[in-house]
Amino acid sequence: MSPPATDLLSSSHLLMVGAGGIGCELLKTLVIAKATRIHIIDLDTIDVSNLNRQFLFRNKHVGMSKAIVAREAALAFLPPARRDQCSITAHHANIKQPEFGVEFFKQFDVVLNGLDNVDARRHVNRLCLAARVPLVESGTTGLVGQVTCHVRGVSACYECKPKPTAKAYPVCTLRNTPDKPIHTIVWAKDMLFKQLFGGDGVVTDLAEAENNNNNTNNEDSNPQEEQTNADDVAAKFFKPEEGEQPYDFLVRVFRRVFVDDIVKVNGMDDLWEKQGRRRPVTLPVDRYKSNDAVKKTASANDAKEGESSPDNEVLGLSASAAAALGYDDDHAVSFGCKSSNADAKEKCATAPPPDHDAHVFLASGVRLLRRKLALASSRGSDDGVAFDKDDALATEFVTAASNLRSRCYGIPRQSVFNAKGMAGNIVHAVATTNAIVAGLIVAEARKVLRYVAAAEGSDERAAVASKLRDTYVVPFPQCPGSKYCIQPTSPEEAHAGCYVCGGGAGGITLSLDTNVWTLGELASFLKKKLSMHLPLLETDEAGQLYEEGDDLDEDEVERYETLAKKRLAELPGDGIVDGTTVNLQDLSQDFNVKVVVRHVADLDEEEYPELCIWDVEGGIQPVANAPAQEEAEKNDGNGASAAGDDDDDLVMIDEDIEVLTENVQAPPAKKARRV
């Protein structure tokens, strides 16, 4: 790095958001490059699963703040003389806390993002726009990564371009007609696990199926009262009866979800008239209900003798039930067995006994139930057990339940490793990719700092702006003798219709049933959809209808809570009905947007799982999947771009890397440039 670039880094004030996989590599690179004024913000603590790629952390750091430990580890790289000159401030905090507002951001010359979720990225993007501070964004997935540069007035903001959104699955598909592994995994995690092991009052869509089967048609009855009673009946079924043993309870649940419910669904002939749709089959519950080995494993406490804990019972019920049963191969379908005999191991991995899933379902389920009861006893309240991808029992139960349901519907079963990835939305990270991306962030940051240092309107600033690049680690078959490289492209221009940086020019239309949706449901939906932190909702006719924040008066809180329960059409000012414009603000993000509501009744839940239609003018709405990579532009014989060489462009080639690139954002082919 040239001396001028080093001088800029050492004299500039930098904000790093995120101290995880990319953040560790980035902080190390910044310190080595002689950056001296750095703030780091990260809410997360160190987990054992981080240690394989977040190299600033060690076993002794597990449970400690990522930001604080990263600071200490990075400073340790430096000799004492330089250590005294390097100021690194660590914040173990949430970037959305009020102290990290627009005024806080204004003190920095550039913000460097190493976050792992779109919601937080949008929040930082809006603060950078409001504070007029450039943002260098980044992300990796496996061996694919990208670094993008966002400078107000020069390039697009982070939200100008479509981003992948979480896939929503219709409840009726999950409950009645699953046909993919992800369907059965979501059913096992979000319906069955939550219903069995959630806290008091939890009623999922699985229990609502019980409601529908038990409701009666009585013209004189109160529908709301009937629904409440039905909820109580449904919730009661998924709790052990008085005196019922945990193992017997799990057998009863097994019979309900893998036998009785399957019989009911089979009776819905209209579901199976579709050509090629296979009717589900029931499972033989009687062969599993009296297995002594499973009962023994389910009842065991694996806490080590003499091990101290606030709750030794809970500690002992955290161990793997599958391993205790001898099913210790997490990469084999349906809980395979590791064996010293190669033939036996291969046979088990390729065609494991179907009973393995049932055994693990019962054993892990009993242990989870016992843990839930032990926690409720020690806490004095039943808050339940939440799903955690790093909880062996939770992932085993979800995998087993999913595989059993897959057997019913003829869907391919999964290994614990694969199911854990899908249930936990895990993006497998590679340390090398993080290191490459961190280096690219610093390379781009030094250009941004040159831009900031140049006089506004000067030729120098314009020249530096032309050097800014978005850089992608992508498949590149045109590179002679290789498949992969780093591909720089010119940043996208700002989208005139962007509802974030376009001055509200982009219009949003939301179509829904205004006679069904409540104000609270609308506010919750818009808050999540638009990644707002503290939304304020108003209409011209009724004024302010909804607001969130810690500084509200008691009477304001009471008013908003009352209005939140009302149907949209019943709100003051003639309600929110067809054609009403809703004005949304988030003062913490300096964000304003208008949403036009259209009334549409009877939306098909299969086609619209969220029971609404979200339409953004100009086509900048979030998309389910990023577009596939287009063919890169043709190059001349020596591998150089027809556009000519550029000193700031970089290509790195690794002929041994192989990577899947489904659903990975690709650079615009028409702007591809390489040397």
Name the strand (E) or helix (H) holding 16. strand 13-17
Number of domains in the chain: 3
The answer to whether 149 is annotated as binding is no
What single-letter amino acid sits at 357?
Answer: D
Residue 276 has pLDDT above 50, yes or no: yes
Q: Is 53 labelled as part of a ligand binding site?
A: yes
Q: Is 109 a member of any domain?
A: yes
Is residue 642 predicted with pLDDT exceeding 70? Answer: no
Picking from 394, 423, 452, the residue at the C-terminal end of a domain is 423
Whether the model clears a pTM of 0.85, i.e. scores above it, the answer is: no
Residue 9 lies in a domain: yes
Same domain, 19 and 136: yes
Choose the final residue of a domain: 584, 600, 616: 616
Known binder of ligand: residue 529?
no
Q: What is the pLDDT of residues 297-353, one digit of tens each?
A: 766 654 444 433 434 444 445 578 888 888 877 888 878 766 554 554 554 454 455
Average pLDDT over residues 161-167: 68
**Domain CATH number, residue 203:** 1.10.10.520
% of the chain beyond a pLDDT of 70: 76
How high is the pLDDT of residue 167? Answer: 67
How far CA 493 is from CA of 162, 239, 331, in Å, comes to 14, 56, 45
Q: Which of 470, 464, 428, 462 is nearest to 446 (CA)?
A: 464
- Per-residue pLDDT band for 664 (boundaries 50, 70, 90) equals very low
Residue 520 known to bind ligand: no
Q: Give the confidence band of 165 by pLDDT, cuts at 50, 70, 90.
A: low
Tell me: the pLDDT tens digits for 607-641?
888 889 988 864 444 433 332 222 222 222 323 33
151 falls within a domain: yes
The response to whether 23 counts as a known ligand-binding position is yes
CATH number at residue 76: 3.40.50.720
Q: In sequence order, what are the beta bridge partners of 597?
A: 510
d(CA 418, CA 400): 12
Q: Is residue 493 part of a domain?
A: no
Q: Residue 670 carries which side chain, given as an amino acid letter?
A: K
Does residue 648 have a pLDDT over 50? no
Asked whether the beta carbons of 564 and 525 are under 8 A apart, the reply is no
User: CA-based Rg of the chain, rounded to a whole angstrom?
Assistant: 28
Do 457 and 515 belong to one domain? no
Q: What are residue 593's DSSP bridge partners?
A: 584
Domain hosting residue 603, numbered range: 508-616
Q: Are residues 395 and 305 in the same domain?
A: yes
Three-class secondary structure of residue 265 per DSSP = helix
- C-alpha dihedral over 119, 121, 127, 133, to 10 degrees? -170
Is 402 in contact with 184 (CB distance < 8 Å)? yes
Residue in the structure block whose two tokens are 């020596």: 638
Pair 207, 313 in one domain: yes
Phi-psi region for residue 504, left (φ > 0), alpha (ψ -120 to 50) or beta? left
Is the same domain home to 29 and 114? yes
Q: Is 58 annotated as a binding residue?
A: no
Residue 137 domain-assigned?
A: yes
Q: Highest mean pLDDT: which of 222-231, 371-380, 547-556?
A: 547-556
User: Could you tell me if 206 and 77 lie in one domain?
Assistant: no
Measure Cα distances from 447 to 1, 10, 236, 635 in Å.
Answer: 12, 14, 62, 26
Active-site annotation holder among 24, 128, 172, 485: 172
* Within a domain: 530: yes
Kindly state the helix (H) or strand (E) to which residue 89 belongs, with its residue range: strand 87-91
Let me know how long the chain is.
675
Which token pair is 152? 């107000």
Look at 110 and 668; give whichever has higher pLDDT. Answer: 110
Active site residue 612: no
pLDDT over 90, % of the chain: 44
**Residue at 39 is within a domain:** yes
Residue 312 corresponds to which tokens in the numbers above?
């030794």
566 three-class SS = coil
Q: Is 160 annotated as a binding-site member?
A: yes
Question: Angle between the 292-299 and 246-255 helix axes, to the nearest 10 degrees?
Answer: 120
Q: What angle do CA 196, 197, 203 make, to 5 degrees?
A: 60
pLDDT tens figures, 424-458: 776 667 888 899 999 999 999 999 999 999 998 89
Which is nearest to 511 in space by CA: 571, 591, 576? 576
471-528 tens-digit pLDDT: 988 766 555 665 667 888 899 888 888 888 875 555 789 999 999 999 999 999 999 9
- In this structure, the answer to whether residues 151 and 124 fall within a common structural domain is yes
Per-residue model confidence (pLDDT) at position 599: 95
Which of 202-206, 252-256, 356-360, 531-535 is least confident? 202-206
Is 637 labelled a binding residue? no
Same domain, 59 and 140: yes
Residues 383 and 409 in one domain: yes
pLDDT confidence of residue 340: 53
Average pLDDT, the chain: 79
- Residue 454, in any domain of the structure: yes
Question: Is residue 152 domain-shared with residue 275, that is, in the same domain?
Answer: no
| Range 261-277 average pLDDT | 81
Same domain, 292 and 404: yes
Both 269 and 395 in one domain: the answer is: yes
Helix (H, G, I), strand (E, B) or coil at 217: coil
Give me the pLDDT at residue 543, please.
92
